[in-house]
Structure 1
Amino acid sequence: MIRHLVLFKLNEGVEREDPRVVEGVAAFRALGARIPELKFWECAWNITDRPIAYDFAINSAVEDTDALKRYIEHPAHQAGVALWREFATWVIADYEF
């Protein structure tokens, strides 16, 4: 299994209530039910307020590298990524467990 972690940081001046952010969050929340390769899916807002903290996180799992590739290339995932590019940056970690 591969764990796929993503941490998002909203761009300077962008708030959670921004309509673009609301749309992006909704797009990502829907992915768990739309992409069959996802064996585990959760995403949520960070609940702490620290200078080093990121704002939003995705924690997911797929079976193997082929499934990860299919997830990354899935049109629903790509559409969500396109939305988030408009208002955030992110870091990713993928590891086997």
Structure 2
Amino acid sequence: MIRHIVMWKFHPGTEAEQARFLDGLRSLQGVIPELLRSEVAVNTGDGNYDAVLVSEFRDLEALRSYR
């Protein structure tokens, strides 16, 4: 199992675009065959990131195909 993690820091004032972007990420589950599981989380406190995508793949080849 391979876990791929991507984090984002958004510019202030782009909340509507952020929401559309994150909804798009959530909609990938079931569309991309290599993607076994994914989770989108939003940071509700102070931190170095605003959102994160955690994706799981069967193996490295599946991750390469996804990319």
Same fold (TM over 0.5): yes
Residue number in structure 1 paired with 2:5 = 5
SS in 1 for 2:30: helix
* Separation in structure 2 between the aligned mates of residue 14 and residue 3 of structure 1, nearest angstrom: 31
Partner of 1:23: 20
1: CA distance, partners of 2:30 / 2:58:
16
Match for residue 61 of structure 1?
Answer: 56
Deviations 1:50-74 (A, max 9, x none): 3xx20000111101121112212xx
What is the Cα deviation at residue 24 of structure 1? 1.0
Q: Cα distance, 1:47 vs. partner?
A: 1.9
Structure 2 counterpart of 1:26, which letter? Answer: D
Structure 2 length as normaliser, TM-score? 0.82
Provide the TM-score with structure 1 as the length reference: 0.60
SS at the partner of 2:9?
strand
Which one has the bigger helix percentage? 1
Q: CA RMSD in A?
A: 1.5
Between the aligned partners of 1:22 and 1:47, the Cα distance in structure 2 is: 14
Gap regions ≥5 residues in structure 1: 73-97
Aligned length: 67
- How far residue 14 of structure 1 moved from its aligned partner, in angstroms, is 3.3
Could you tell me which residue of structure 2 aligns to residue 36 of structure 1?
33
